[in-house]
Amino acid sequence: MAAKITEVRSQKPEARSQNIFTLFSVLCLLSSVLWCLILAPMLVSADSEMKGGYRNDYLPRGIVPKHEMDKAENWIAIFEHSKRDEWQEPDKVIEKMNLKDGDVIADIGAGSGYFTRRFAMAVGLTGKAYGVDIEPELVKYMGDDAQKLNLKNYIPRLATMADSGLDPGSVDVVFICLTYHHIEDRINYMNKLKKILKKGGRVVIVAFYKKKMDFGPPPDNKISEEVTIEEMKEAGYHLTKRLDFLRYQYFLEFEPVENQPQTYTD
């Protein structure tokens, strides 16, 4: 051991510098490895929350939604996912809608009836909640759901892209959540939808903000508030309420222009 110490001490200055540099490099490498071991779980965890533009923890395991409707069972799993309440906040949405006992509400693009069943409870036994959808499997699911919950005022209704299938003057509130962008020829459709509204009826639209977020479809598959408002104006509606209490979505309420009180001048 003493001989080795003597040998090291007798090295030239250039050799000592080289040894110090080598030791420093080894320490840096060990430090990098240590930080990788510490940060790796964090990086994996962060990556696992995002897949296909969606937060994994807000979606059923193994299902990444596509913009087109492919399998009804996949969409039911998404619509009914246990964590949906966290970001959708349905109780707050319904509170802001100011529903009354006896109201008739049409949930257009109701899907699995996530909101429809809640509306049926909110409007009481004298009210009605129509779950309107174009997918027969989803309409069947809502029918089974209504029976299971024993809600006779929870009424599934099969529709088409062109017609809601509801009677003229039969609805107090039309509700469209996350499906406005799916409607073909929206201006014409929304214009025709006015006929099912009672006098004083209104339309509520809830949709994802058109911006990059940690949850929801990519921006190209969304419609901005401004475009929605402009399209509804073209369809013959005026904006009566605009709220931003939801983290990922905007809340807009409209009434047909003919509901506005008319003013006259001499």
Tens-place pLDDT, residues 15-60: 444 554 444 444 444 444 333 333 333 333 333 344 455 565 666 6
Cα 69 from Cα 172, distance rounded (Å): 29
238 class by beta-carbon count within 10 Å (0-12 exposed, 13-18 middle, 19+ buried): middle
Least confident among 10-14, 95-99, 135-139, 144-148: 10-14
Category of 126 on φ-ψ map: left (φ > 0), alpha (ψ -120 to 50) or beta: alpha
Considering the chain, what percentage of its residues have pLDDT values greater than 90?
A: 61
Contact 130, 167 (CB under 8 A): no
Q: Is residue 215 classed as helix, strand or coil in its secondary structure?
A: coil
pLDDT value, residue 237: 98
pLDDT tens digits for range 71-87: 788 889 889 998 999 99
Using only the alpha carbons of the chain, give its radius of gyration. 29
The answer as to CATH 3.50.50.60 being correct for domain 84-259 is no
Put residue 150 in one of left, alpha, beta given phi > 0 → left and psi -120 to 50 → alpha: left
Higher pLDDT, 182 or 119: 119
pLDDT digit string, tens, across residues 154-165: 999 999 999 999
Angle between helices 72-79 and 136-149 (to 10 degrees): 50
Q: How confident is the model at residue 70 (pLDDT cuts 50, 70, 90)?
A: low
